[in-house]
Amino acid sequence: MQERDYKAEIEAARKNSVQLRKIAAEIHQAGGPQILMIRAIQLAKAAEAGPHPLGKTSEALGLPRPSSVPLYRYKLAPGTFERIEKKLSSSLQSEVQHPALAPAFVLWAADWFRRSYQGGKPKWDDIGAALKVDLSWSEWTRIADRGFALWEIAPLIRASDESNQRLANLARQGGFPAAAIASGAGWPRKFLERVVGELLGSDEQDIGSAVVTCERNEYLLPPIWRSQEMYAICGELALKIVELRAFADKEVPADDRPYSARLDQADEDWRDVLPMTLDGAAAALIDTLLEAKKLSGSGSIRITRLMTRHEDGWRECLDFHLDGRWDDKDEILSPDAYSRIFLQPADGLADRVSGRLAYLEHEDRNHWIVRPMRSEGAIAFPFELPVTAEFHSRGDRLTRSFVLPGGKSVGDGLRVFERRGAEGQNASFALIGQGSGGYRAERVFIDAPQDWSLRGKDEATEIEIEDFTFAQGRCVYQCAGAIIAQKRNGDRFLIRTGQSADRKDRLSVIANAVSGLQTPNGEPLYRHPLYAMVSEGVSSRVAARGEVRWRIAGGRDWLDDLDTAGPGLCEFAWLDSSTGHVRDRLTALVLPVGFELAQKNNGNFAEIELNGWDGEASLAGEIPSSRHCWRIKTDPPRRALLILRLAFGLDPAFELTVPVRSKEWITTWAGDLLPRDAVLGLADLRDTVARVPTTSTLLADVRQHSGAALEASWRIDGELGLSALRTDIAALMRPLGIDAQVRLNFHGSNDYWYVTEFGNALEWEPNGGLRPRTAIVGQDAKVCGRALGAPEKELEFGPYDGLLSGLGGQVIHLPRLKGDWLVYLREGSRVLTRPKFIAGDPDDAIPQHRLGRAMAQPLDLAREDLNALASEIAHDPTTTEAKQTIQAVLKLALSLNGLPPQTFEIFGKLEEAGALAPLLLYRCEEQHLSTILEVFDGLCSSWVLLPHEAWDAAFQAQGQFLVSRLDDPQWAITQITERQNEIAARAPQLAPLICRTFSPASWEEVRGHFTGNTSEGISTDTAGFNPFRPVFRDLLPQENFLESLMRVLDAPFAAALAAMGRISLDKVQTLTVKDVERRHPAYFAKAYGYALTELKNDR
């Protein structure tokens, strides 16, 4: 450790008595030179004996001497604040007194912000009113500038316009406002945790960057607190937290203790530097902020790959960070066309996550605010799969699937991790890199195959092999310094820790595109000529000759000349000129210049011709019509994909996939065609893809209730994996019951396929046991069940091996069950079979809650009891039994994980159960709000159709519930208001039902939005008839558009009338409300809010 220069420190602080005495104490504690300690004490006494540097007036008021610290660090004697305020009130009106009172004014004003600021944009007049002094703007600013200068406080300059933010600087110097903590609201934690996390991940950690970070995340603040003053206050606090974390990391080795405990060990007075009065709530907030996760400095959404420890070993997982921003660099999201856009899982992620991931709202230009719609917990997800998603809105698919930031597939080579959280049973490690790179972390964990070797680049490097491994055949090393990792073939990689910022060099290859072909495993496809680009940090350049090398995949020796690369699967590497280590590498399939595959349709055949290839070629066993030419029948098609096998000389042969341009069809990913009229379950959509020759539209409609115009369509360019449409298809189908069907076909085609909730079912075998009706292939399928007496608990009976156990699949032998059960097969969030009712042995045990007691009996009695239960909650939701039932229904809703809500009849009673449904929103954790809101997606009802009085009853019941927990009505109101705002943020159409301060749009605004925005997105050909006008004409707006437009115009007005009890809707009308609410959310929210307000006011 570098020796301190006490002499220089004393000289720098010669007029600061506080700092001098602190230095003297530190010299004494460290056993330093006695003469320097005496020198520091003498200078401190001299500084204290001289005239007060702020003047006689400040001395008389008891102001401390300046000591180059923020104003919130000065400790005032009791009564000083009141004495200063009295003096300022009586004397500040006199201009002559301004210079002498400037230090006192700045100190008082800073503390006034801490004591009195309650949000909003403060003005100088607010300060003047508190002092009963009337000064001009220029007088206030001159006094503030002089006071700041005397206290040695630098101006706070806003980066965007370089303006001097004096009021914000006063607020920052006062510290975090007491009112923000006293309210008990949750937003300070969410907002500050975000700001601290981004600062931890940023290379710029100063007050300017902190304020900019606060501005960027203002959407997490209630509107009343959005101001430059609050950004400065929060920026100051976040910066201090980051500094304290860095101090703890430097002074105290990392262990399983929280940061606050480590700081207590390093410096028991560390809390004194915080701009906050630390009472109970504030102390808890600081503890939380100290443990904030490091986030990307830009605030962009991303995912993190994790290795987490579980009882059965280590598991590959991913963690979502979907609370942030999305920069639409390609400008594919139109804020004019869509007010709210949803991020939905695609491909492999859609198999493991049900429902939407997040929603986006436009901020400005091509920037969008992203808010999560799923819980924050990590999920199991293989490293080998990319994490992909799509943007959807109003039932439309806006983009192809794309890889989320941080979601690229992870190779099986060298992986670099950073420890997350404490050691022990719940330990986890975050993936921060692959291959060579520099990392800010002081220590990293390198996971590599066991036949790799690791050594230090110099003597300062530390390498220690761990006593655990993430997977068989691999080793984990804890490392610090400069580490060289070497493969058996001689490839070397360099990892550096303790760098100023994370740094990863990048290699890219520029080549001509090749159309009409796919690689088997998704590798890039390059055609000569090839050019290499290398990126160091933010700068990119063309690679020098020989700097980037290549070899046939699996080879050992690198070759210099890229012009000779291929043909076939090749590895490319950027080798460091001095050390020879691999800075970055990639794998791609390389084809010769002039290589081209032409495909031309000729009647019922496709003619495929290969050019630019001098070697051997075969196409899926087809007999060529001439050299490198094939004629493939396409109507009816036989396969969607053909394998093209290529060989050249002695080089290894390789294969490419050729999509055949046949007629539109639904196939498996492997290219097998699904027969016409095939019935698929939602779970089967993972394995299916819609393929078209060029561009087409896939149509969907619900067969049972075409009168409600339940339809959807998606544009397809080439191909579309149907797993991306699972949420949209479920929204069409589930309101009609678990046996409803959606019909799929392509525009202009008479070929149909069908999707139902469950494409498979469990059936009894003659000799006992259960077996799926159709075979299931899946390594992760499990046999699951729920006892009807405790339906919220899913029990796992064991794995299901499918075809691994024989031609017909495994026979399921259940244990002896007590009571009635629902049994099904599950794989992740996909429920593979229709839940099957199993009558077990009589069970004498009485279910623990009323819901279970109602369900655990014959169907007719169960329905009768469920009706009674709903009526009792509607009558009084505050009884002890009602509270238990509400909690049971909440747990059931949160446990569904892919089961449709209509599996359980209690969800069909929500509309008649009074406050039950709204109380699910009030009582769940915030991270589960979206899950609860999505329950109605699967019901033949909607949140907007619940009786208005049910929301009022829920408000009263929740207030009583909170007051019973903590006898503080104001706290209860704050908690309810915060929850109402959280609900309205996710479902704006509910704001008029729950938010007391809701301000509706005018009729002119509603009509203008409909004619100017909504009507343009309505198809006048397929939108269906209007089920509202024939019955409720006199109660609806007196407009006369096309019937298809009137259907959309009327839906929110009919919903408001139903919510207020003025009308009752039949099934077709209810389904139409749901359809319009889903397809036109912005218009629906505006019109519903207007209509509901008018009805409440009897207009």
pLDDT of residue 642: 92
Full-model pTM: 0.77
552 close to 570: Cβ distance less than 8 angstroms: yes
Tens of pLDDT, residue by residue over 587-633, are 999 999 999 999 988 888 889 999 999 999 999 888 999 999 999 88
Rounded average pLDDT over 1032-1061: 91
Percent of the chain whose predicted confidence (pLDDT) is above 90: 46
Helix (H) / strand (E) containing 338:
none
> Cα-flanking dihedrals φ and ψ of residue 407, to 5°?
-105, 10
Tens of pLDDT, residue by residue over 986-1021, are 899 999 999 888 889 999 999 998 988 777 777 665
pLDDT over threshold 90, residue 907 = yes
> Cα-flanking dihedrals φ and ψ of residue 929, to 5°?
-60, -45
pLDDT of residue 238: 92
Tens of pLDDT, residue by residue over 660-691, are 888 889 999 888 899 999 999 988 888 899 99
> Cα-flanking dihedrals φ and ψ of residue 216, to 5°?
-65, -30
118-to-112, 121, 970 alpha-carbon distances in Å: 11, 10, 15
Q: What is the dihedral of CA 975, 979, 980, 981, to 10 degrees?
A: 110
Cα separation, 448 vs 419, in Å, equals 16
Confidence of residue 256 (pLDDT cuts 50, 70, 90): low
CA terminus-to-terminus distance, the chain: 78
More confident residue, 324 or 214: 214
pLDDT of residue 33: 80
Confidence of residue 2 (pLDDT cuts 50, 70, 90): low
Cα separation, 465 vs 450, in Å, equals 11
More confident residue, 275 or 109: 109
Confidence of residue 308 (pLDDT cuts 50, 70, 90): very high
491 close to 554: Cβ distance less than 8 angstroms: no
757 close to 734: Cβ distance less than 8 angstroms: yes
Angle, in degrees to the nearest 10, between helices 98-116 and 124-131: 100
For the chain, state the CA radius of gyration. 34
| 3-state SS class at 532 | strand
276-to-120, 217, 229, 233, 248 alpha-carbon distances in Å: 20, 21, 15, 10, 19
993-to-371, 514, 623 alpha-carbon distances in Å: 22, 55, 69
Cα separation, 733 vs 742, in Å, equals 6
Q: Which of 40-44, 441-445, 781-785 has the lowest mean pLDDT?
A: 40-44
pLDDT over threshold 80, residue 915 = yes
Confidence of residue 806 (pLDDT cuts 50, 70, 90): very low
Confidence of residue 1 (pLDDT cuts 50, 70, 90): very low
| 3-state SS class at 514 | coil
* Residue for token pair 């896939």: 698
Give 531's strand partners.
Answer: 510
The tally of CA atoms less than 13 A away on the side-chain side of residue 1019 is: 11
Tens of pLDDT, residue by residue over 177-209, are 877 777 667 788 888 988 998 888 787 888 888
Rounded average pLDDT over 804-809: 52
Cα separation, 109 vs 89, in Å, equals 12
The dihedral sign for the CA sequence 878, 879, 882, 883: positive
Question: What mean pLDDT value characterizes the chain?
Answer: 87
Tens of pLDDT, residue by residue over 216-242, are 888 788 777 788 888 888 998 999 999
Rounded average pLDDT over 832-846: 92
Secondary structure in 3-state letters for 932-946 = HHHHHHHCCCCHHHC
pLDDT over threshold 70, residue 805 = no
Cβ partners under 8 Å of residue 463, min gap 6: 454, 455, 456, 477, 478, 479, 483
The dihedral sign for the CA sequence 518, 519, 523, 529: negative
Tens of pLDDT, residue by residue over 917-931, are 999 999 998 888 989
Domain boundaries of the chain, sorted by first residue: 6-49, 56-174, 178-290, 302-403, 415-496, 506-591, 596-659, 665-756, 762-839, 855-1096
CA proximity to 234, closest of 219, 249, 212: 212
Tens of pLDDT, residue by residue over 858-887, are 999 999 999 999 999 999 999 999 999 999
- How buried is residue 695: exposed, middle or buried, by Cβ count under 10 Å (0-12/13-18/19+)? exposed
985 close to 921: Cβ distance less than 8 angstroms: no
Cα separation, 389 vs 322, in Å, equals 12
Query: In this structure, which amino acid lies at residue 1043?
Result: E
Angle, in degrees to the nearest 10, between helices 916-923 and 948-965: 40
Cβ partners under 8 Å of residue 324, min gap 6: 194, 295, 299, 300, 301, 302, 370
* Residue for token pair 């207020």: 1060
> Cα-flanking dihedrals φ and ψ of residue 955, to 5°?
-60, -50
CA–chain centroid gap for 833, Å, is 30
Tens of pLDDT, residue by residue over 694-749, are 889 999 988 665 455 678 888 888 888 888 888 888 888 889 888 899 999 998 88
- How buried is residue 397: exposed, middle or buried, by Cβ count under 10 Å (0-12/13-18/19+)? buried
Helix (H) / strand (E) containing 659:
strand 654-659
